Chain A
Amino acid sequence: MMDLGKYAAEVISAWGISLAALAGLVWWSVRRDRRVRAELERTERDHG
């Protein structure tokens, strides 16, 4: 484990929050895209 010295808490929390926010954004975007694609298929089948 690398030694981050006296700023370890700041560095780890900044990186943790940022990477979690980026991962959450990607996950939410991909999930919503899949749901909308599936819904469009259903809607086109029913009303298209």
Chain B
Amino acid sequence: MSIWSYANPRKFLDTTAPWVPWLMWLSAVVLAVGLVWGFFFTPEAERFGSSVKIIYLHVPSALMAINAWLMMLVASLIWLIRRHHVSALAARAAAPVGMVMTLIALVTGAIWGQPMWGTWWAWDPRLTSFLILFLFYLGYIALWAAIPDPDGAADLTSVLCLVGSVFAILSRYAVNFWNQGLHQGASLSLDKQENVADVFWIPLLVCMAGFVLLFLALVLLRTGTEIRARRIEALRNRARRTGAVRA
């Protein structure tokens, strides 16, 4: 069976609806394990004291902020190339989730930065590209809400998503491009030498898995909501047209 069969809204709803509650509960359990482990059962870091506990929220939310936009990019490209409505609605559904993740990353980063760097904010390459990504999320959501024609909105938001992808990628790799920023390099790497110590790394991985599962659950749930909202609109438009013909 082709993956494109899921572009049919009915097929998408029938397939994903049973998964959503399971994914919600699984993400709640994995997140609870990771967060309780990170908060209560990890030691303080030598240089950072107990402030190291902020990474269990900061790193996974930053990861999802970038990856949510990349998921929206793939969905937007599918819309632009193949005109599947479900993919446009999935991108729309993911945007508020990605925006909240970006906001959490920005706020927790600022709270951590104040005692560590002596400032809430610096125009550092990674921080700045993250702020721009957050503004792109706001713009993307506002654009969907501002355009009444759904296909026109999907077209314009897809183009906006392509442009914003530059900042999503930049926010991931900014620390590698520029050396003058305050933000340190990646906390996680395939190179074990660069990783944080195992005692922090393992609960952090569990938290990241929890955030990924929560993102999946929310995007599936919200895509279903968008499909149903679109169906309501279609039924009302049909009733209006029928009423107008009769009148």
Report A's interface with B, CB cutoff 8 A. 2, 4-8, 10-11, 13-15, 17-19, 21-22, 24-26, 29-30, 32-33, 36-37, 39-40, 43-44, 46-48
B4 within 8 A of A: no
- Tell me, in angstroms, the Cα distance from A36 to B224 when the chains sit together: 10
- What B residues does A6 contact at CB under 8 A? 49, 115
Enumerate the 8 nearest inter-chain pairs by beta-carbon distance, A residue then B residue, closest first: A7-B51, A47-B239, A4-B50, A18-B57, A14-B111, A33-B225, A14-B108, A47-B235
Interface size class of B (residues with CB under 8 A): 35 or more
> Could you write out 25 A-B pairs with CB less than 8 Å apart?
A5-B50, A7-B48, A7-B51, A8-B50, A10-B51, A10-B114, A11-B53, A14-B108, A17-B104, A17-B107, A18-B57, A18-B104, A19-B57, A22-B100, A26-B218, A29-B218, A29-B221, A29-B222, A33-B222, A33-B225, A40-B228, A40-B232, A43-B231, A43-B236, A47-B236
B158 within 8 A of A: no
- What A residues does B221 contact at CB under 8 A? 29-30, 33
Binary interface encoding of chain B residues 29-65 relative to chain A, with 1 for a CB under 8 A from any of its CBs, else 0 = 0000000000110001000111101100110010000
